Amino acid sequence: MSNSEPRYFDPTGAPMSVEEWSALFERRKEDMSPESWWRKETVLGSDVRVSTVWLGLDHSFLPGQHLYWETMVFGGDHDQDQWRYGSREEALDDHERIVSAVREGREP
């Protein structure tokens, strides 16, 4: 990623300054519900959960592609598996696909 490309993005993909990102990232604490503007979490039984969250910080490390949403599995056979996305819609759609696969015992 070049120094001229933005590193921080709001949940809709608009570039933002590190100060704006920090303030919005802190605001996440105000809404810890399983489904909110910044996250979705699905609990599968007593030991597995699938969590999709807005990170805001670009994790792509490649020019032109910005990945600032992440889905991760906690527990079970796919513990710590993760996927990153460039939009909220893409992340939430894949969240449902991953939940279905894990529920059915398939590879996500």
Residue 108 lies in a domain: no
Which of 47-51, 56-60, 69-73 is predicted with the least confidence, judged by mean pLDDT? 56-60
More confident residue, 65 or 5: 65
pLDDT of residue 3: 60
Residue 3 lies in a domain: no
Residue 79 lies in a domain: yes
Residue 2 lies in a domain: no
Please give the distance of CA 59 from its chain centroid, rounded to a whole number. 11
Q: Which residues of 58-95 are buried (b: 16+ CB within 10 A; e: fewer)?
A: beeeeeeebbbbbbbbbbeebeebebbbbbbeebbebb
pTM over cut 0.85? yes
Half-sphere exposure for 50 (CA within 13 Å, toward CB): 21
What's the whole-number mean pLDDT along residues 84-89?
96
Provide the residue range defining the domain that includes 55: 8-103
Residue 64 lies in a domain: yes
